[in-house]
Structure 1
C-alpha cells in the first residue's frame, strides 16, 4: 500500500512538471524546429550535389538531438533551483513527500516532456522528408529517435544533479559541457593508448569510466543509412543508459537530502 502511495505522489509531481513545461515551451520548440529544418532542406537543395537526402537526414537527426539538449540544459538545471529560489520547496517538503520522491517526480516530468518533444520533432522530420520525396529508413531512424530520447533523459538526470549542486547558470553550462564530453569520452580510451605515461593513461581511463558514454546511445550517423547495431548491443546500451540515469538520480537525491533550506 505504501509503495502505491509513494508512486502516486511521484506521479502528481511528474504530471505538474509535465503540464507546466509542455504548456510554456514544447509546442513553440517544435514549431521552431519545423521552420528551421524546412529552411535547412531548402538551402541544402541549392548547395548539395547529388546527396541531398542523406545530408538532410543527418542535419535533421542532429537538430532533434540539439533542440532536446537546449530544453535539458535550460529547464532541467533550474527545476530544483527554481523551487528553492521561490521557496515553494518548503511548502512541498512540508507535505508527506520525501526528497527522493521530489527528485524522481521532477525528473520523470521532464523525461515525459522530452519524450513527447522528440516524438513531435521526429514526426515533423518524417513529414518534411516525405514532402520532399526523400527516401529514408523509417525503422532505423525511429529507433535512433528513441535512443535520442533515452540519451536526453540521462542528460536530464545529470542536469537535475548539477542543479542540486550549484546555481542554475553554472548547472546549464556544465550540462552542455557534459553532453559534448560524453560524446567524446570513448575517444579518451583510444587517445590514452598513445600516451607514454602510465599515470596519464590511468587518469584518462578513469575519466572515461566516470563520464557517461553517450556514443553508446548515438545511432544517428549509421541510422540514416539504415544501419543498426546487433539487437543484443542495442539492449545492453539501453540498459547502460537506464542504469546511469538511476545512478545520477540517486546522487541527486543523496545531495538534496543534505541541503538545508
Structure 2
C-alpha cells in the first residue's frame, strides 16, 4: 500500500493549528494599536538625545545608550504583562474558549500558539525599536558595539518571552488583575534573586538561607538574560560563548517548563 507523500502528517497538522492561533494573536494585538508604542519610543529617544547634552555634558553618550535599552525593556515588559495575562483569561471570560475546545485543538496547541503569537509581536517591537535606536546613536555619533547591543536586544527578547510564559501561566487560573500583579512581582524577584540568595547567606540564618535558596530555584534568574550593562558600559565586553549558550538554554528550558505547566492546568479546567 503506497502512502501519499503529500498527505499532511500529524505533526504538520498540529504545527498548522499552532500557527493559525499564533497568527490570530498577532493580528489581534496589531489591531489594538500596540505598534504605536514604537512612535512613543522614537519620540522619547530623539527628545533625550536633544536634551541630554544640556544637562549631562560628557556622559550623555552612556546615558543615551542606557535610556534606549531601558526604554525597550520597559515597553516590551508592558506588552508582555498586560497582553500576556489576558491572552487565555480573556478567552475564558468571553467563553470563546468553548468554541476552540470543540474544534480539534489540543490545550498544548492553544497555549503554545498564544505564546508564539505574542513573542512574534515582541520581536517586531524590539527589531523596530532597535533600528530607531541605532539610527539615533549613529546620528549623534555615539560610540557603541553593534555586537553587544544586538546580543543585549536578543536576550531581552528571550527574557520578555519568558515573562510572557509566566503571564500566560498565571492568566490560566487567576483573574487578569491578579495575574498582572503576580507577573510583575516575578519580574522584580527574578532580577533580584541573586541578591536575595546573598542576603540569605549574610544573615547566617539556616532557615532564611533555605527559603532564599528555594526562591532562587523556583523563580527564573532573569539576571542571566540581562546584558544591558555590558552593552552600555562594557562596549565589546560580553560573557564568553559558553556562558551565553548556557543562559540561552536556561531561558528556553524555563519557557518550555512554564508552558507545560500552563497546558496541564488549562487541560484540567472545567468550562
Instruction: Please indicate the TM-score interval, normalised by the length of the shorter structure.
Output: over 0.9
Q: Which residue of 1 aligns with 2:6?
A: none
Q: How does 1:1-261 map to 2 (within 5 A)?
A: 1-224=9-232, 225-226=234-235, 227-261=237-271
Distance 1:209 1:134 in 2: 40
Deviations 1:168-220 (A, max 9, x none): 11111111111111100011221111122211101111101111000000000
What secondary structure does 1:26 align onto?
coil
Distance 2:33 2:245 in 1: 32
Q: Give the TM-score, by structure 2 length.
A: 0.94
Distance 2:94 2:246 in 1: 41
- Following superposition, the deviation at residue 42 of structure 1 comes to 2.2
The count of corresponding residues between Structure 1 and Structure 2 is: 261
Further displaced range: 52-61 or 42-51: 42-51
Distance 2:178 2:66 in 1: 30
Gaps of 5+ in 2: 1-8
- Following superposition, the deviation at residue 40 of structure 1 comes to 2.1
- Following superposition, the deviation at residue 15 of structure 1 comes to 0.8
Q: Give the TM-score, by structure 1 length.
A: 0.97
- Following superposition, the deviation at residue 22 of structure 1 comes to 2.3
- Following superposition, the deviation at residue 72 of structure 1 comes to 0.7
What secondary structure does 2:34 align onto?
helix
Deviations 1:19-41 (A, max 9, x none): 11123233201111111121122
Distance 1:203 1:59 in 2: 35
Distance 2:92 2:258 in 1: 20
Distance 2:52 2:229 in 1: 18
Distance 1:75 1:246 in 2: 19
Cα RMSD after superposing both structures: 1.0
Distance 2:270 2:52 in 1: 53
Distance 1:179 1:66 in 2: 11
Further displaced range: 230-239 or 22-31: 22-31
What secondary structure does 2:104 align onto?
coil
Distance 1:25 1:174 in 2: 25
What secondary structure does 1:193 align onto?
helix
